[in-house]
Structure 1
């Protein structure tokens, strides 16, 4: 893959020219109001993993519609807290996996909540959270599920689960509720970015190669999945193009970024043909809080990989450092 998108100087100045839905804030206030009619009902159960430097709990809470959402809580063994926390959301098709796959943040002294994505877990890591809702016509995958209306759209449920995950982790005695960061890569970055726009008092958000940003542009400049799911759908449902993009506007990370006022950290690979760099910069350039974009000129969707991990650990530790840290 080559650098197929804009030059870097144009990316830094790029503004997405789509108009957000006029009732964007009303829609999300109503959605979260409905979600909060259900008690969180957080249940935390110890898990014997044979890991000795971390403690692992299986956590469940009520997400959208009162549906149970599962997560792992991985934290340093022997530390009573209150600890800063990282809530991590998972990339497209994956689930929370197994606890030993996620040790980095706990090793750095954080409580780490690794959240399932409802209905996923069939592509590259296991999940334990179903999505008990049918949809109308859609392309294989998740991007077009329920696209007939904002109320039925799949990511309404997913983003709501993300908000509830932050609310759930804040109830845990080991967590300092004022020091919660949200993060994720690709789809996980999209969820984290949405949560940062919907939960104004988180400590910060790190979105690595985030999906669902500048959606109309992204689907026009890349042939790669998952955006290709939408292209295939609209290639069949030719008379639904305007309506579909109208629905997607409620879930676009650019419009979420406008409402995110805490510090943000983005990562972009300039050869990323999955989430094109212009879509990432479109969100970063609208981000309402202090923002940093880490650029990797010769990387694709993986971005900086382990180098992103290293830089993000430094950023997160500095962001939530307590008086004795």
Structure 2
């Protein structure tokens, strides 16, 4: 088990730094065929293509933005055209039956048009298509979302049917935690002094996990939390940060705010790939084997990292948060679901959650992949659905008992903001929670989300 001693600031570095300084949420690797949209990623941003942006370059003068109106009113689209000479035609169809037109309308030429979705008898997945005219072949803008009954705001959406929490959900995760507990942690802690900052000391931490593998974490500790011998002299709050799909979670220094950070690289991420490298895209690894599905194993990797942190004498065990973006947002929820000592969660652009909606609404990334797999309807489909249900972020949210903040992008083609609402509504009654949508933001964690996160930490970790 870890001791109370960390190597002092002037200790020799035995490990080599593998990180990056290009931001806290970045997708750096090409995810090849499964995540072909990755070529549009840059510093955590996605260029919103085809579904959710102008697609007819001849009419690029039209600019579109989504108005989620999650708290009140109806979801809407605003279109702006500086020329004032072009009209617009909109058609709303059911995604379950694209021949079922719920509404169509021709707008006269104008500089600005705001279109509100029609009300429906029950929540309905729809596709909204804007063109210049009814017979136009090339759409200007296409948006998938959920139309709501009259008077029911989107924030009350509970989600589509499917991928429900399995009856043995709790037993499944109790069994998984027992499997992890049987594996000795055997931490190896190495100083990385060349990456120290004026306020923080960096350590490389290697831990054993299930499946006879190891994971690598980066641990930044405030200098004033340790004495010259590496002994703890005060307890500080901490944030456990987990990565987006395929990306390394690099060292993140928040020691100027007095916060320690543990950047976790589950198997097949960053330097942990030295110990476990997936031969296929990991989102499909053992997908028809719930007990060995990638995300079950990765959740346990994150839990192992948290166990290490909670044993550190320089960490205040009552002030440890979980954070991540995209896939990392799923990991943050899962960690809080499995580790009751987590004090609060910031889950940004939450991915791999609310599959019943995501497989319909998502137009890029993992939802498209899972839709294709399930569309084969072969003998493994039942097991695939079980694997996804056991690890669905919306189902994991039912086990969370600490304050949770969910933040989504208003124009995200990967993780629709309505999926974030489903996760939000699965959090048990009485648990403090917040939900935010960043307008016009694609699959990204912009500065405004970071501000929401910082405010959450001020409230629940007591940091400045």
TM bin, normalised by shorter chain, reads 0.7 to 0.9
- Give me the whole-angstrom Cα distance separating, in 2, the residues matched to 1:47 and 1:128: 19
1:306 aligns with 2:447: yes
What is the RMSD of the two structures over their aligned residues, measured on CA atoms? 2.2
- Give me the whole-angstrom Cα distance separating, in 2, the residues matched to 1:255 and 1:308: 24
- Give me the whole-angstrom Cα distance separating, in 2, the residues matched to 1:188 and 1:72: 15
SS of residue paired to 1:78: helix
- Give me the whole-angstrom Cα distance separating, in 1, the residues matched to 2:194 and 2:371: 43
What is the match of residue 357 of structure 2? 217
1:261 to 388, 392, 401: 401
Shift in alpha-carbon separation, 1:264–1:40, aligned structure 2, 3 A: same
Using the TM superposition, give the Cα deviation of residue 60 of structure 1 relative to its aligned residue in structure 2, in angstroms. 1.4
Using the TM superposition, give the Cα deviation of residue 186 of structure 1 relative to its aligned residue in structure 2, in angstroms. 0.5
Q: Is the 8 A contact 2:166 2:389 kept in 1?
A: yes
What is the match of residue 43 of structure 1? 188
Q: Is the 8 A contact 1:86 1:182 kept in 2?
A: yes
Q: 1:96-147: CA deviations, max 9, x gaps?
A: 33x3xx22x32321110000121134xxxx655532677xxxxx52222101
1:75 aligns with 2:221: yes
What is the match of residue 157 of structure 2? 14
Using the TM superposition, give the Cα deviation of residue 44 of structure 1 relative to its aligned residue in structure 2, in angstroms. 1.7
Structure 2 unmatched runs, 5+: 1-51, 54-65, 67-142, 227-233
What is the match of residue 268 of structure 2? 119
Shift in alpha-carbon separation, 1:175–1:7, aligned structure 2, 3 A: farther
Using the TM superposition, give the Cα deviation of residue 76 of structure 1 relative to its aligned residue in structure 2, in angstroms. 2.4
- Give me the whole-angstrom Cα distance separating, in 2, the residues matched to 1:291 and 1:110: 22
- Give me the whole-angstrom Cα distance separating, in 2, the residues matched to 1:115 and 1:239: 36
Q: Is the 8 A contact 1:96 1:114 kept in 2?
A: yes
- Give me the whole-angstrom Cα distance separating, in 2, the residues matched to 1:133 and 1:114: 20
SS of residue paired to 1:246: helix
- Give me the whole-angstrom Cα distance separating, in 2, the residues matched to 1:270 and 1:306: 15
Q: 1:279-316: CA deviations, max 9, x gaps?
A: 1111111112210012112111114x112112211211
Q: 1:140-177: CA deviations, max 9, x gaps?
A: 52222101121120111100111111111111222112
What is the match of residue 459 of structure 2? 318
What is the match of residue 381 of structure 2? 241
Correspondence 1:1-325 to 2 at 5 A: 1=52, 3=66, 4=143, 5-6=145-146, 10-16=153-159, 17-18=161-162, 19-53=164-198, 54-80=200-226, 81-97=234-250, 99=251, 102-103=252-253, 105-121=254-270, 128=273, 130-131=275-276, 141-236=281-376, 238-288=378-428, 289-303=431-445, 305-321=446-462
- Give me the whole-angstrom Cα distance separating, in 2, the residues matched to 1:50 and 1:194: 30
SS of residue paired to 1:275: coil
Q: 1:49-68: CA deviations, max 9, x gaps?
A: 25332210001112223521
Q: Is the 8 A contact 1:70 1:129 kept in 2?
A: no
- The range that moved more, 2-11 or 12-21, is 2-11
Structure 1 unmatched runs, 5+: 135-139
Using the TM superposition, give the Cα deviation of residue 231 of structure 1 relative to its aligned residue in structure 2, in angstroms. 2.5
Q: Is the 8 A contact 2:278 2:285 kept in 1?
A: no
SS of residue paired to 1:143: helix
Q: Is the 8 A contact 2:239 2:262 kept in 1?
A: yes
- Give me the whole-angstrom Cα distance separating, in 2, the residues matched to 1:129 and 1:62: 13
- Give me the whole-angstrom Cα distance separating, in 2, the residues matched to 1:159 and 1:178: 21
SS of residue paired to 1:38: coil
Q: Is the 8 A contact 1:144 1:233 kept in 2?
A: no
Using the TM superposition, give the Cα deviation of residue 278 of structure 1 relative to its aligned residue in structure 2, in angstroms. 1.6
SS of residue paired to 2:437: strand
Give the strand-richer structure, 1 or 2.
2
Pair member with larger Rg: 2
SS of residue paired to 2:434: strand
Q: Is the 8 A contact 1:88 1:115 kept in 2?
A: yes
Using the TM superposition, give the Cα deviation of residue 275 of structure 1 relative to its aligned residue in structure 2, in angstroms. 0.8
